[in-house]
Every structure is written in C-alpha cells, then in structure tokens.
Amino acid sequence: MASKHTLPEALKTIRKARGLSQEDFSDVSSRTYMSTLERDLKSPTLNKLAELCEVMEVHPLTLLTLAYGGKSSKQIDQLLALVRQELEALMQRDNVH
C-alpha cells in the first residue's frame, strides 16, 4: 500500500495543526530528534510514536492514518474500511481456533 503522504509529513502536519513547535516535545525528545523525524532521517519506535502522539493529543492511529491515507477524505475512508475488514477477518479467525 504505497502512499504519497509519509510519516514525516504526517508528524509535521499534526504538530503544526496543534500549534506546537519542535521544542514543545522536550519532555519526550529533543528538537534535533524531531527535526530528524520530520526530515525522514530517522524512524521512531512504536513507543516513541506513542509519546509523540501524547504531546500532540492524538491517537497513534490518527498519525498513521494520516501517513498512509494522506489528506484526502476519500483515501482515508477507503483506508479505514480496509483496516476494519482486515481486523474483522483476523478476529473471526481468532474466534475459530
């Protein structure tokens, strides 16, 4: 599932939409680290993503949805429908065993 919108772009979009500077993340990371994430020079761990999302006051899935779905409502709706289908299929398989 290729996406033109990336995690670095999604981070920057949400950070700016929340009115946050890179320095506002100082409790969980340095400004330099935020800059390297937003420039796609480093990849955060899931734990680090969760910490960053706490600062931005969004669920980590919101960040990932923006990264994979872009800013188009139609693309986001399609992505969320796909995720729902996959989760339902996985839960059904889990219930069978």
Structural domain including 62 reads 7-68
The answer as to whether 90 is a domain residue is no
Per-residue pLDDT of the chain (97 residues; tens, 9 = 90+): 444 669 999 999 999 999 999 999 999 999 999 999 999 999 999 999 999 999 999 999 999 999 999 888 999 999 999 999 999 999 998 776 5
Domain count, the chain: 1
Cα→Cα distances 89→81, 82, 83, 92, 93, Å: 12, 11, 10, 5, 6
The answer as to whether 92 is a domain residue is no
Q: Find the CATH number of the domain harbouring 17.
A: 1.10.260.40
CB 40 within 8 A of CB 8: yes
Return the structure tokens found at 15. Answer: 């950070």
Q: What is the pLDDT of residue 1?
A: 45
The answer as to whether 78 is a domain residue is no
The answer as to whether 49 is a domain residue is yes
The answer as to whether 91 is a domain residue is no
Alpha-carbon distance of 42 to 39, in angstroms, equals 8
The answer as to whether 93 is a domain residue is no
pTM for the model: 0.84
